[in-house]
Structure 1
Amino acid sequence: MTLRSRLDASWASPRQTGVRVALVAVVLAVAAVPFLLLLLFVESRWGPLLELDNGARDGLHSYALAHPTFVTIMRVISNSGSGPAWMGVTIALALVVLVRRQIRLALFVLVTNAGSSLLNGFVKTAVNRARPVVNHPLLHEPGMSFPSGHAQAAVAGYGVLLFVVLPYVRGVWRRVVLLVAVLMVLAIGFSRIALAVHYVSDVLAAYVLGLAWLVAMASVFHVWRRTETRAAQ
């Protein structure tokens, strides 16, 4: 057996798989703490969080009303992270991956993004938090507020894009792609607060929940790939 074969076998061994599953469980448990804290603070109407949420809502909304160009930019950024936009990206990315005969990766793309949307809708319904109320609203969004669907979709969606694209990017361009993805995730979350359709806590909770979901799905598909690799040897 060659050194490469031994390394692959070691990486795909049940022991190594068990270690990785345990690490993922720890990551998800750690991610659950800030999300549950935010949920607790929202449900109990904790003073400091209310002050942060209401202060950001009122301050950004006042600024937006006085700066139409700012509103236009925020609308464009927000629309880039909408459900229909991500649906188009998800389908296109899955088709590209399927053309390359990477069926497992295509399933990862579809399940991660679609599952994130379903999870967000479930949590929204369970928490049932009303959206911010302002004078002269800039957008009229249906549904509940906690957590932000746009922000969660951005974390899951850009995370999936990085999983697919980064293996083909080299050198300084890897850092550029990573930076663009992070900035877009932050910009989409900020745009939802600036347009007064979400509170700061909605966006923060969405980031945590989206990241936890992304890690869970990446781990599941990684173990699946390694299990099939081991079975084929």
Structure 2
Amino acid sequence: MAPLPFWQLLLGLICILVAGHVLAWWAWRALAFSGPRLGRGITGMARRRKALAWLQRRAPATTRFVGARLTVERFSGLPLTLIAGLAVYLVFLGAGLLEDLFEGEELVQFDQHVNSALAVVRNPHFLEFAGAITALANLETLIAITLVSTGFLWAHRRFAYIPGLLVTVIGSQAITYIGKYAIARDRPDFLTFASASTPSFPSGHATGAIAVYGFIIYAIARDIPGVRRRFELAYWGCALIALIAASRAILSVHFASDIAAGLLVGGFWLLSGFALTEYLRQRADMPGR
């Protein structure tokens, strides 16, 4: 299958980003308007004594625990509950993906099909573009960005963010490289100028991109005012992460499942970094500290 012309590929990418921007802004606005009301509604339901009087009499400790987990006034309430639930969900997704890799031929066939289908985008000029994008998540680049980000956080006295950043980066990279050599999956055939020497599963570039850039997006967006500013930062940051992940498959150095596994590993540790940072921020804001 002959690759498409570069201008068609570039125009298609621009259209995808623009369409994604419109849809994401609509979803963001819907969440911004309905999320707080939903959270207050859940909390209010937990506090309605008439509806829950029988539960309070029979299990007062359980009632207090559930109410504390659903409150929106503290990070340890509903926000932490949602983060923990999502983290557990990512673990189950990763376990299912790993099981399919070892026990099912369908995943292997799917990976081969995707790799073959991507021949249509392997235009030499588009491959150069993909190579420039993928370089943003090389290990050396991620280490440098992490060190610079730590320095900026320290200089701006945002000390609560530094442990979360380090936990996110170190934890995600450690699990990734343990998984690579424990599973020892062969990489796809190198069909472009790109190559790699480490095992294929999971993708270290995908892991590092979502861990490092995801935490930087969070650290910047956490305290800047304005819904629109936060959205633009989050969308284009996530678009960069998606482009880095896609570039690994386009360059034929990873299968699609390698990339998915890397995003799951990085996402889990990113949520862990969020939780640690918010916990430290909450402690720093407590009276008497």
The reply to whether TM is greater than 0.5 is yes
CA shift in 2, pair 1:172/1:62, >3 Å: closer
Q: How does 1:36-55 map to 2 (within 5 A)?
A: 36-44=95-103, 46-55=104-113
What TM-score does the superposition give when structure 2 sets the normalisation length? 0.68
Deviation by residue 1:107-157 (Cα, 9 ceiling, x = unmatched): 3223322322122111212221111124x4421201111111111111111
Cα distance between partner residues in 2 of 1:169 and 1:202: 37
- Contact 2:214–2:238 at 8 Å: present in 1 too? no
For residue 169 of structure 1, report the CA deviation from its aligned partner.
Answer: 5.1
The aligned counterpart of 1:3 is none
Secondary structure of 1:17's counterpart equals coil
Count of residues in Structure 1 that have an aligned counterpart in Structure 2: 217
Secondary structure of 1:143's counterpart equals coil
| Larger of the two Rg values belongs to structure | 2
The aligned counterpart of 2:5 is none
Cα distance between partner residues in 1 of 2:270 and 2:257: 20
The aligned counterpart of 1:160 is 215
Cα distance between partner residues in 2 of 1:100 and 1:143: 37
Q: How does 1:24-39 map to 2 (within 5 A)?
A: 24-39=83-98
One-letter amino acid of the structure 1 residue matched with residue 199 of structure 2: M
Residue ranges of structure 2 left out of the alignment (5+ in a row): 1-71
RMSD: 2.2
One-letter amino acid of the structure 1 residue matched with residue 280 of structure 2: W
- Contact 1:95–1:106 at 8 Å: present in 2 too? no
For residue 63 of structure 1, report the CA deviation from its aligned partner.
Answer: 4.4
CA shift in 2, pair 1:42/1:180, >3 Å: same
The aligned counterpart of 2:149 is 93
Which of the numbers 186, 191, 200 marks the counterpart of 2:242?
Answer: 186
Identity %: 22
One-letter amino acid of the structure 1 residue matched with residue 94 of structure 2: F
One-letter amino acid of the structure 1 residue matched with residue 277 of structure 2: F
For residue 11 of structure 1, report the CA deviation from its aligned partner.
Answer: 4.5
1:209 aligns with 2:265: yes
- Contact 1:113–1:156 at 8 Å: present in 2 too? yes
Cα distance between partner residues in 2 of 1:161 and 1:203: 21
- Contact 2:173–2:204 at 8 Å: present in 1 too? yes
For residue 50 of structure 1, report the CA deviation from its aligned partner.
Answer: 1.7
Residue ranges of structure 1 left out of the alignment (5+ in a row): 1-9
Which of the numbers 169, 176, 179 marks the counterpart of 1:123?
Answer: 179
- Contact 1:91–1:110 at 8 Å: present in 2 too? no
What TM-score does the superposition give when structure 1 sets the normalisation length? 0.83
Secondary structure of 1:103's counterpart equals coil
Secondary structure of 1:133's counterpart equals coil
For residue 195 of structure 1, report the CA deviation from its aligned partner.
Answer: 0.6
Which of the numbers 115, 125, 148 marks the counterpart of 1:57?
Answer: 115
- The higher relative CO (CA closer than 8 Å, separation ≥ 6) is in 1
Which of the numbers 173, 195, 199 marks the counterpart of 2:255?
Answer: 199
Cα distance between partner residues in 2 of 1:178 and 1:210: 16
